[in-house]
């Protein structure tokens, strides 16, 4: 049972870095059909879209990646403490 929690902790950490990568890529002008952009958007949109619907827009900033990274770090810490 502890190996499942450990695996989930690693999975949450990987998702954290994928969301971070998407946030960093959004600062640079890249074509939307770039394979890196397609992967990052496809991997993070199911996580970020519900947060965007809940969170209000703060001027021109999208805070959903930051909130998602905080949630993922909490989930990773929780799952590793259960392992």
- Count of structural domains, the chain: 1
Per residue in 34-81, pLDDT tens? 999 999 999 999 999 999 999 888 788 888 999 999 999 999 999 988
Residue 22: the pLDDT is 94
- Show the domain range for 35: 2-82
CA distance 51 to 45: 10
Residue 3: the pLDDT is 87
Residue 81: the pLDDT is 87
25, pLDDT greater than 80: yes
Alpha helices in 1-83 (DSSP H): 2-25, 35-54, 64-82
30, pLDDT greater than 80: yes
């Amino acid at each position: 049972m502890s190996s499942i929690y450990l695996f989930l902790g690693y999975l949450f950490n990987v998702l954290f870095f994928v969301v971070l990568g998407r946030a960093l890529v959004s600062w640079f002008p890249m074509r939307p059909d770039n394979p890196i952009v397609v992967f990052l958007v496809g991997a993070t949109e199911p996580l970020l879209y519900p947060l965007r619907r809940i969170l209000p827009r703060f001027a021109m900033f999208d805070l959903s990646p930051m909130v998602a990274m905080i949630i993922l770090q909490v989930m990773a810490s929780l799952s590793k403490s259960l392992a």
